[in-house]
Chain A
Amino acid sequence: MAKSKTPTRAANKEVKNLIEDLLKKLHTSEVPEDLPCRGEQINKIEKFLRSVISPNGESSAMYISGVPGTGKTATVQTVVRRLEDEVGPTFKAIYINAMELIDPKEFFVRVYKEITQDSKRVGITTARRHLNLLFQSIDRKRPPIIIMIDELDHMCTKRQELIYDIFNWTTNERARVTVIAIANTLDLPERMLSQRIASRLGSNRLTFEPYTHQQIQSIITARLSDTTAFDDQVVELAGRKVAAISGDLRKAIEILRRAAELALDAKASRVSLEHVQSSIAETQSSIRMGYFQSLSEHGIELFRAATTQVMTTGVEEFRFYELFKHYLSFCAGQGLDGNELIAREIICTLSSMRLIIVAATTAHSHNWWHRKMQLGVPLQEALDFLKSYKNPDSP
């Protein structure tokens, strides 16, 4: 008995290890050494940086845009790291994510500290003044500085004086300060920045397009080349699913991770299509669905009434009396005792969940019966909620 048990346990353990290993590899913090499908962008950034840090390089600026999960940050950091390995400490690279800053002005302190390697506390204005002076003067001995700003849109203040200062550093050609700005919006310089900043930022743009499903597939397969716990179809399904919506690589990896966890829970030896499908289903069920399940019976009937009202009339807005009419008839069907007070109370609950939006009172709509309302979710979603709702009392 004991003898026959040991090998299965060992086999189980092996499978577990296989999938756990997979989970580790799929963690989004794991940035692979080379980035497939981004060769063109890597080349451009590398060329740009090489010209900047070369002995007769000049200050310049670059703007990188792309939707989330398209490898902007990873690419820039990989290229900088590679250059650092190659040429050693002949230049200084500073990476700052503007989202991490509590106050956008902290940026100057961070840059100042990085440059001076000074651990003393320094005020924002002091740091800013010193940086402005430092980058105005020409110091042949100082190595070129590359400043990477991630999530540039978080640096935008109303007067934009912070961004102005930063890009103004790059106008002194001999100061050898280079700024690489990263953000999601394709045309941030045109849309949000004033012309004087756009003139300084220049036209050096690079766009990261959303990944296609073939790209997602090949990236993930490359990452997981030495594991066998995945079928190709599994990766393809996740890739196609994500590429159709956002092309966000992180999402695809997240789906696969969850699928692997499900497989681990189910003690399966491989991650199969079913696991991926249920993982996708999990990501799709929105938080409102949870709210919806927690509604009382009257709440469900009111919501059903609102949905029916929108369906039958085809008009988005409706008034309370129209809703109430439907609600009463649904209540009668369910054997519930509906009345106006309950309905009003529940409308309040529903509107606090944003399942139904109640218009503000106007001079003409003081009367509750004439209050304007509309659904807080798209009609299709509302129908799906109702379809998937299970009455906890019914068998």
Chain B
Amino acid sequence: MVTALKGREKEFDTICDNVRKAIATSQPITFYLSGLPGTGKTATVYRVIEALSDVTTSVFINCASVNTLKDLTTALISPAESPKKKTRGRPPSLAKIAEALSKPMLVILDEIDHLSSSTLLYSVFRWPQEVSWKLIVIGIANSIDLTERLLPKLKLTIPPITLPFAPYNKDQLKDIIAEKLQDENSMDKTSLELCARKIAAVSGDARSAVRVIKQAKSVTATPTTREVLGVLNSVYASPLSRARLPLQSQVLLAVCLRISNNKKTALTRFALYNAYSKACTELNIPAVKGDDLETAWGNIESQSLASVDKAGRIRLQIDASTARSVIANSHMISQIDDLNL
């Protein structure tokens, strides 16, 4: 007997019960599952497939790569088509495919928002009613209101059963991690709790929770709270805190910071370069020019410390205190702050 994913018992049961009921009465039925990444949507559906394998067949389609009607139909006929067998000519119509089915088929469309057009998206949800009740469509995507937003007309007929997957809370995460690690019961309770609480507070993403524990385990075999906290901090700290800049880029960034303090003028690249060369003369730093200067600026941009918008204005992407910590030279900053640029 297939059981539900930890913490997803309700969703699992809803799908299974409704499908069984629909099959018993030959009613068309569709589902739409939504939720943030790592909340077990796809995993739940896989278990549903297994649990219902006695009454249905199934085909799993990831719409990221299959996203036109033709591709979809081809995928429906031959889910595991061998590379040798090539289908020539036009694929048969959906009605034919449905007729040929001996058992109802679960059509699972993962990342359904990747479908090429909203017309197709719409027609996919209408398949069970218009083609055959034997096609049971389950759409999966991240946004909670996809069907309401893009497909208001679905309301007129039979709207899909919408199942939002809430982010995992800390107890669920704790269970999930414990389940994943059951073969090697080496985690101590407090560090497990810490990880679950932290992740639940930020995203409730089970993937990242498991990954944090794995990373901590790669440091030592029996991670304590300290190791787990270390991994968590490195995961959730801004990646910009790891940035390190060469000297000239530091000067450029400091000048940028200094000028952006007075909001009166829009800062363009040339204005920055002019101010920079002025600052270099004042500080007795040899100023670079031309391509070298562009390279130095490129360092700042590629680390996303600042960017240039369409109008050519420079925008700092970080707050002043992060910029200061990236420059890591308080003496130079204070010198440049004193200049009149």
Spell out A's residues near B (CB within 8 Å).
Answer: 47, 51, 67, 125-126, 128-130, 132-133, 159, 161, 164-165, 168, 171, 184-187, 190-191, 195-196, 198-200, 202-205, 207, 209-210, 243-248, 283-286, 288-289, 316, 374-375, 377-381, 384
**B65: which A residues are within 8 A, CB to CB?**
125, 128-129, 132, 161, 165
Residues B302 and A67 in contact, CB atoms below 8 Å apart: yes
Q: CA of A244 to CA of B296 in the docked complex: distance in angstroms? A: 9
Question: Which residue on B lies nearest to A202, using beta carbons?
Answer: B211
In this assembly, does B89 line the interface, its C-beta being within 8 Å of a C-beta of chain A?
no
- B114, B240, B246, B291: the one contacting A187 at CB < 8 Å is B240
In this assembly, does B235 line the interface, its C-beta being within 8 Å of a C-beta of chain A?
yes
Residues B83 and A316 in contact, CB atoms below 8 Å apart: no
**B129: which A residues are within 8 A, CB to CB?**
none
Spell out B's residues near A (CB within 8 Å).
Answer: 36-38, 62, 64-67, 71, 80, 83, 111, 114, 142, 205, 207-208, 211-212, 215, 218, 234-235, 239-240, 242-249, 268, 270-271, 273-274, 277, 287-293, 295-296, 298-299, 302-304
Residues B289 and A164 in contact, CB atoms below 8 Å apart: no
Specify which of A161, A190, A380 lies most central, judged by the most chain B CB atoms within 10 Å of its CB: A380
Residues A284 and B235 in contact, CB atoms below 8 Å apart: no
Residues A245 and B304 in contact, CB atoms below 8 Å apart: no
Q: CA of A129 to CA of B87 in the docked complex: distance in angstroms? A: 14
- A171, A245, A286: the one contacting B296 at CB < 8 Å is A245
Residues A204 and B274 in contact, CB atoms below 8 Å apart: no
Q: CA of A126 to CA of B289 in the docked complex: distance in angstroms? A: 51
Residues B246 and A243 in contact, CB atoms below 8 Å apart: yes
- B64, B114, B212, B296: the one contacting A246 at CB < 8 Å is B296
A–B complex contacts, Cβ < 8 Å, 21 sampled: A164-B111, A185-B302, A185-B303, A187-B303, A191-B304, A196-B142, A203-B211, A203-B212, A204-B215, A207-B242, A209-B244, A210-B245, A243-B247, A245-B288, A283-B291, A284-B290, A285-B290, A378-B293, A379-B270, A379-B273, A381-B290
Residues B239 and A380 in contact, CB atoms below 8 Å apart: no
- A196, A248, A288, A384: the one contacting B37 at CB < 8 Å is A196
Residues A185 and B208 in contact, CB atoms below 8 Å apart: no
Residues B239 and A168 in contact, CB atoms below 8 Å apart: no
Given known pairs A132-B62, A284-B289, A381-B290, the reply for A195 and B270 (CB within 8 Å) is no
Q: CA of A138 to CA of B241 in the docked complex: distance in angstroms? A: 39
Q: A291: shortest Cβ distance to chain B, in Å?
A: 12
Given known pairs A199-B38, A204-B215, A210-B246, the reply for A67 and B299 (CB within 8 Å) is yes
Given known pairs A67-B302, A195-B36, A199-B38, the reply for A380 and B208 (CB within 8 Å) is no
Q: B124: shortest Cβ distance to chain A, in Å?
A: 17
Question: Which residue on B lies nearest to A136, using beta carbons?
Answer: B60
Question: Which residue on A lies nearest to B244, using beta carbons?
Answer: A209
Question: Which residue on A lies nearest to B295, using beta carbons?
Answer: A246
Question: Which residue on B lies nearest to A383, using beta carbons?
Answer: B277
Residues A130 and B83 in contact, CB atoms below 8 Å apart: yes
